[in-house]
A = this chain, B = another copy of it.
């Protein structure tokens, strides 16, 4: 897990985030890094490739690697950022209210989205997220019970992801997000501090394990004025 190139990657990332490495400056060259870490060039290059993928540096043939000027508050960008990570970054006082926590039989909607049969059972979790005193996000999560045998209110109030990855040891592989804007539902209006808005931003999230089985479906419903999504993209080359 703690491969050499991952250590190099993590060290450089924290140096950039701490400001020890100046944005817009040149990163050490590959050969310097080889000596510094006593590794082969390929190992250095693996670390640099990850840094480039994640938007920390830009590599230029014949010149070197420039450290990009990342606005820390926008970062990280297109990760699997959960509410807990998000709220830690935003700072403001946050709370989570568990409105519903139950095992349900899947309806057609769930069978379509979660790849479960009508004999399986599914955890349904409905949570309201409050930031700075305002109820802004309505999260509806569905898990296949096969993977998550037990679930408690306490876990839901904290971070379900942490429980799943650390306690259950399930390995999340990848996720697909779809963002759309819809008319707000009665449920949205009932649970959220809605003021004058009649639309809602819906982020559908499909989470897959490393063995490619679909494991969780989440709908995250955001008050439109508070929604913000940042994405970093590279040309395919």
Contacts and interface: CB of A to CB of B under 8 A. Distances in A.
B233 A80 contact: yes
A180 B233 contact: no
A55 B58 CA distance: 22
B235 A172 contact: yes
Interface in A210-237: 210-212, 224-225, 227-237
B58 A173 contact: yes
A54 B81 CA distance: 18
Contacts of A174: 55, 58, 232-235
Interface residues of A, number: 46
A196 B117 CA distance: 40
Contacts of A233: 78-80, 174-177
B60 A211 contact: yes
Interface in A82-103: none
Interface string A192-211: 00000101010000001011
A219 to B, nearest CB: 15
Interface string A169-198: 001111111111110000000000000010
Interface string A150-180: 0000000000000000000001111111111
A211 B61 CA distance: 10
A53 interface: yes
Interface of A: 6, 24, 53-55, 58, 60, 66, 68, 74, 77-80, 171-182, 197, 199, 201, 208, 210-212, 224-225, 227-237
Given A174-B235, A175-B233, A177-B231, 4 more contacts: A53-B53, A58-B173, A178-B228, A179-B231
11 contacts: A58-B174, A58-B208, A58-B211, A74-B178, A77-B176, A79-B236, A80-B234, A174-B234, A175-B233, A178-B228, A180-B227
